[in-house]
Amino acid sequence: MPEWSIFMRRITTLPNKIRIVTQGLKDRDSTALGVWVGAGARYEQDSNKGVAHFLEHMAFKGSNKYSCDAIKQRVEGVGGNLNAFTSDEETCFYAKVPAQHQATAFDILADITFFPKISKKDLDKERTVILEEIKMYRDLPQYYVVELLEQLLWPGHPLGKSLAGTPESVGALGVKALRDFQQAYYLPSNVVICACGRVDHDALVDLVAKKLSGLTGQHDPRYTPARTEQDKPAVHFFYKDTEQMHLALGSLAYETNHPDYIVLSLLNIILGGNMSSRLFSEVREKKGLAYSIGSGTKSMGDTGLFMIRAGVDNRKIVDALRVVLNVLSRIRKQGVSADEFQRAKDYFKGQFLLGLEDTMDHMLWVGSALISNDQVRTLKEVIARIDSVTPEDVKRVARHVLASSRFNVSIVGPLAEGQQRELRALLGVV
């Protein structure tokens, strides 16, 4: 293996438009590989809701070259692991193996991604598994509350509907629906092959060319635009007899390439990104109103969200939301202190660097960036963007994203009518 391949990032585009990106990482003995497809839940219609996720499941049931058992045994038998995930805009099939097994891992991932068998027998069996998965998430209030929140953020839009689909839509999906979705989106111009760790770029390019150069077709990258603005708050209360209330507060935020995306990331750290954050300190440490509370962000091609999640004592849900709203109000009005701001920057840089030490985490960053943004920033560029943010930027973004008119609140738990009235009054929801 050429020594320079341990240090450099390289990108090659094949004649059929498949992109291959590798990132050599020094002193690694593993390779993480991912086959990325720019297709996810937001490309679905009501009639085939859940098809992207279903197709991901079916890939592991067997392909033209590998049986279901062989797929797992060939990777796990050498100490590796493999899996896949579907998001709103992407699907990724990935594996991590000792570096000498790179060729085998790629061949398996490519075969299950582009040449799955999808038999009716396997589909009917896997349908039962997915229906149970849907039930599981609905039974877990900490997950279902987020689904309800996304319904408020993007009402009637694919982003506001369950990624896994509904029992009705999944129950109606057949072999043709899965094949049609694959033929529409699993096309070479919509594919990135990514490998990070101890990797030979030229060898991987040769493997991809031999395996996938016969794929043809151009994908249509269009999707239904999602909203980014909101003029009044909204709530969704779901009664469930639980021992704890589950709260999610979210607001529409920024798309992946928005110039203020990094600013929002710093605001997130300050508000709820760790145990030093304002929300953790105020809601849990000082008031004892929640066992868990934190915040996060999510970005897509044309929209995004900022979200706070908490698990709250059933009797304290109103008090907890009142404290959360006060914390958000203060940062809108007062901004952040110099010390708090610097800690957030240092935390951001430190977490970013630590996250890139593992070959799999590095592959997920590089692959996702290329498939969604057509570019991968260097570490130096990311650090420079973080350093360029000012406290005034954070206050400006807080005033926009955390405006009370943009708030959406979902709660799962045994809410009494009186609690519902108080919560609506706090949020100004008529």
Q: Name the residues annotated as catalytic.
A: 56
The Cα-based distances of 2 to 25, 157, 200, 378 in angstroms read 13, 49, 7, 22
Q: Measured between alpha carbons, how far is 344 from 274 in angstroms, rounded to an integer?
A: 10
- The helix/strand/coil state of 293 is strand
Helix, strand, coil abundance in the chain, percent, nearest 5: 50, 20, 30
CB 74 within 8 A of CB 130: no
Q: Measured between alpha carbons, how far is 193 from 208 in angstroms, rounded to an integer?
A: 8
DSSP structural state of residue 314: G
In the numeric block, which tokens belong to residue 11?
A: 């990108």
Q: Measured between alpha carbons, how far is 298 from 366 in angstroms, rounded to an integer?
A: 17
Give phi and psi for 408, each to the nearest 5.
Answer: -130, 130
Exposed / middle / buried, residue 148 (Cβ in 10 Å: 0-12, 13-18, 19+): buried
DSSP for 162-205 reads -TT--HHHHHH--HHHHHHHHHHH--GGGEEEEEEES--HHHHH
In the numeric block, which tokens belong to residue 34?
A: 């991912």
